[in-house]
Structure 1
Amino acid sequence: MIIETKYHGQVEINQEDVWTFNQGIPGFADEKQFTLLAFPDNDVFFVLQSTSTPELGFVVTNPFAFFPEYDIQLDEAVVEALQLEKAEEAAVYTILTVKEPFEQTTANLQAPIILNTTNKQAKQVILNDNRYHIRHSIFLVGAEKE
């Protein structure tokens, strides 16, 4: 299928590249289908792009690339909702707030995106863990958090 995107223009994707958020993403409850698109010449940053709304695309990254000690515990309701049978089935991404200059970009570690790589189910999870906040600098170790 061909979709219009926020950053990549028109792209062709396969149905197996579509992730289903059964409850949508907080603030976007009606948006249920997304795909992950890589930026050219880049294996760190991606766009979580709505398949139905071209202007809705979130820049995301694997948080472990910037925060190796990031440690999340999913509650049983999330594990059941995503039908995760083992930890290896889960891929974790965080939404970035891209700033100018780019070195001031932050990651939302309090609300990671969890993808079940087996069944293509996905969910944004709000963590009840006071170690993580909505704005962690991805470039400055020990930077301020909000």
Structure 2
Amino acid sequence: MRLKTKYHGEIEAASDSIIQFPSGIPGFLDEKEFVLLPFGAESPFFILQSVNTKELAFVMTIPFLFFKDYAIDLDDATIEQLEIESEQDVAVYVILTLEDPFENTTANLLAPVIINQKNKRAKQVILTGTTYKTKHPLMEQKEV
């Protein structure tokens, strides 16, 4: 399928690469289909691109690359909703708020995006009982 994207122009995406968000994403409840695209070769960043809305794309990263002690516990309802059978099936991403200069970019550790890689079902989970916030400085955490 041909997709028009915010950052990659027009691309070809396989139908089996579509990630389903049954409940949408908070703030975008009608947006239920996305594809995950690498930002570039060897980049730690990814684009979560809406299948239906070219302008809707979230820049994300794998939090463990920048926040070594990041840990989450998924509730039973999320595990059931995403049909997670094994920890190995789960991919965890966090949405970034890009700033200029880039060194001021922040990561939303309070609401990670959880993807069951096996069945392509996903959800942005809002964590409770944690000290994580929506704006953690990204670059201060990166070990050089």
TM-score over 0.5 (shorter chain): yes
Mean Cα displacement is larger for which, 41-50 or 104-113?
Answer: 41-50
- Quick check: 1:110–1:129 contact (8 Å CA) kept in 2? no
Cα distance between partner residues in 1 of 2:81 and 2:43: 29
Secondary structure of the corresponding residue to residue 4 of structure 1: strand
Cα distance between partner residues in 2 of 1:47 and 1:16: 17
Cα distance between partner residues in 2 of 1:82 and 1:130: 22
2:5 matched residue in structure 1: 5
Secondary structure of the corresponding residue to residue 123 of structure 1: strand
1:62 correspondence with 2:72: no
Dislocated runs of 4+, deviation >3 Å = none
Aligned-partner residue type, residue 101 of structure 1: P
Alignment of 1:6-85 (within 5 A): 6-85=6-85
TM-score (norm 2): 0.95
**Deviation by residue 1:28-73 (Cα, 9 ceiling, x = unmatched):** 0000000011122333001000000000000000000001110100
Percent identical: 50
Secondary structure of the corresponding residue to residue 36 of structure 1: strand
Cα distance between partner residues in 2 of 1:31 and 1:49: 10
In the alignment, structure 1 segments of 5+ residues that lack a partner are 142-146
Alignment: residue pair count: 141
Cα distance between partner residues in 2 of 1:26 and 1:41: 29
2:92 matched residue in structure 1: 92
TM-score (norm 1): 0.94
